[in-house]
Amino acid sequence: MNKNQIIDILKTQDEAVIQELFKKAYQIKQQHVGSTVFFRGIIEFSNICTKDCFYCGIRKSNKKVYRFSMTAQDIIRASLWAYEQGYGSIVLQSGERSDEDFVEFIEDILLEIKKLTLNKLGITLSLGEQSFETFKRWFDAGAHRYLLRIETSDQNLYKKIHPKGSDHKNRLKCLKMLGEIGYQVGTGVMIGLPFQTYENLADDILFFKEWDIDMIGMGPYIVHKDTPLASLDNNTPETNFMLGLKMIALARIYLKDVNIAATTALQALDPLGREKGLQAGANIIMPNITPVEYRANYLLYEDKPCLDENAAMCRSCLENRISSIGETIGFCQWGDSPHFFKRKNAGKEKEKNPLS
């Protein structure tokens, strides 16, 4: 598949072509990663953020948000719950902070979770841009995957959706540092942003390949009314939903052996969004295991689903949904990206591989 073909598929409204795309992506998924879905229980533990991204509901300038941070004890309790349920791994996500108190807070939590679960619970972090030293401290404390979305591979578009002074190059630098340290590196984009073209999205897929990315977490952009981007001309949710599914399928066909998440943003736009994501080529689901009392304050976008369902309800609802499409859940396994091991073992010439 070349760039023009990717653009044609993103543009097409032809239902037969779209169904063929999903079918092909599903076949490739079965060949390369099987039909086992891995869970990453996500704990969205704080909405305190030092950044002001124009699309995000918890940006620091949104004064309507009540700011919270879970205690270390509560985060550890939620992690242990995931472990006891047989979820192979968790994701710790929050707004971006890089002060020493925060760095140490995370480090201590990682050490404690690793100790209490005898090193068996896999931990992914999604805590934004940090220094090499911080990434390294957290890696040494037990995190082994990091998710840092590039948001868009196009520098100009990146500028338009972030405040002055934001630095696309630093985002790239962070991805490189994560790879060097030894993390499994995850990235992704928002799909259907204002100003975004089909060509931008095709370039995003090429970017994932060029950067040898191990895991992809991308989803439709969804408007949050209290953000600067809300006043712009936005696509309909249906358009962004379909583009989101097509991007998953294209990424699966183009990259083959990476882990791809069916993100919650898909489910926000369609009650069956995550199942459709799995059927379009995704193999990872991130059940929300944040205690219910915090969820309403972690609204990156509007209409986030499952705000009032506790983690146990999420689990049984998900199990039913996954068996309804004939897939199984990989309990008690990390479900690492096969691509990561190939990248490590391939002996690729270093200069050709941005993440080495």
* Interface residues toward ligand SF4, by CB under 6 A: 49, 51, 53, 56, 58-59, 95-96, 128, 300
- Number of helices (H) and strands (E) in the chain: give both, helices first: 14, 11
- The footprint of ligand SAH on residues 29-88 (CB under 6 A) is 55-56
Q: Give the residue, chosen from 21, 123, 125, 222, that forms a contact with ligand SAH under the rule CB under 6 A.
A: 222
| Of 138, 125, 135, 147, the residue nearest 261 (C-alpha) | 147
Q: How far apart are CA 320 and CA 302, in angstroms?
A: 26
3-state secondary structure (DSSP) of residue 346: coil
| Of 293, 248, 283, 292, the residue nearest 266 (C-alpha) | 248
Sequence-distant (6+) residues with CB within 8 A of 353 are: 212, 343
| Least distance in angstroms from the C-beta of 163 to ligand SF4 | 10
Q: Kindly report the CA angle at 234 between 168 and 19, in degrees rounded to 5?
A: 90
Q: Give the residue, chosen from 38, 39, 89, 151, that forms a contact with ligand SAH under the rule CB under 6 A.
A: 151
Q: Give the residue, chosen from 41, 88, 95, 277, that forms a contact with ligand SAH under the rule CB under 6 A.
A: 95
The verdict on 321 binding ligand SAH (CB under 6 A) reads no
Strands (DSSP E) contained in 274-324 are 284-285
From ligand SF4, ligand SAH, none, which one binds at residue 93 (CB under 5 to 8 Å depending on kind)?
ligand SAH
| Least distance in angstroms from the C-beta of 169 to ligand SAH | 16
From ligand SAH, ligand SF4, none, which one binds at residue 88 (CB under 5 to 8 Å depending on kind)?
none
| Least distance in angstroms from the C-beta of 3 to ligand SF4 | 28
| Least distance in angstroms from the C-beta of 58 to ligand SAH | 8
Give whichever of 68 and 341 is closer to ligand SF4, judged by the CB atom.
68
Question: Which uninterrupted H or E stretch holds 181?
Answer: helix 168-181
From ligand SF4, ligand SAH, none, which one binds at residue 222 (CB under 5 to 8 Å depending on kind)?
ligand SAH
| Least distance in angstroms from the C-beta of 157 to ligand SF4 | 15
From ligand SAH, ligand SF4, none, which one binds at residue 139 (CB under 5 to 8 Å depending on kind)?
none
Q: 172's torsion region: left (phi>0), alpha (psi -120 to 50) or beta?
A: alpha
What mask, x for binding ligand SAH by CB under 6 A, covers residues 99 to 138? Answer: ---------------------------x-x----------
Question: Which uninterrupted H or E stretch holds 175?
Answer: helix 168-181
Q: Give the residue, chosen from 172, 265, 278, 306, that forms a contact with ligand SAH under the rule CB under 6 A.
A: 265
DSSP 162: S
Q: Which long-range contacts (CB under 8 A, 24 or more apart) does 228-233 make?
A: 228/54, 229/54, 229/55, 229/161, 229/193, 229/194, 232/194, 232/195, 233/194
Residue ranges in 55-99 assigned as alpha helix (H): 72-84
The verdict on 183 binding ligand SAH (CB under 6 A) reads no
The verdict on 192 binding ligand SAH (CB under 6 A) reads no
Bridge partners of residue 146, in order along the sequence: 125, 185
Give whichever of 51 and 136 is closer to ligand SF4, judged by the CB atom.
51
Q: Which chain residues interact with ligand SAH by CB under 6 A? A: 55-56, 93, 95-96, 126, 128, 148-149, 151, 190, 219, 221-222, 224, 265, 300-301
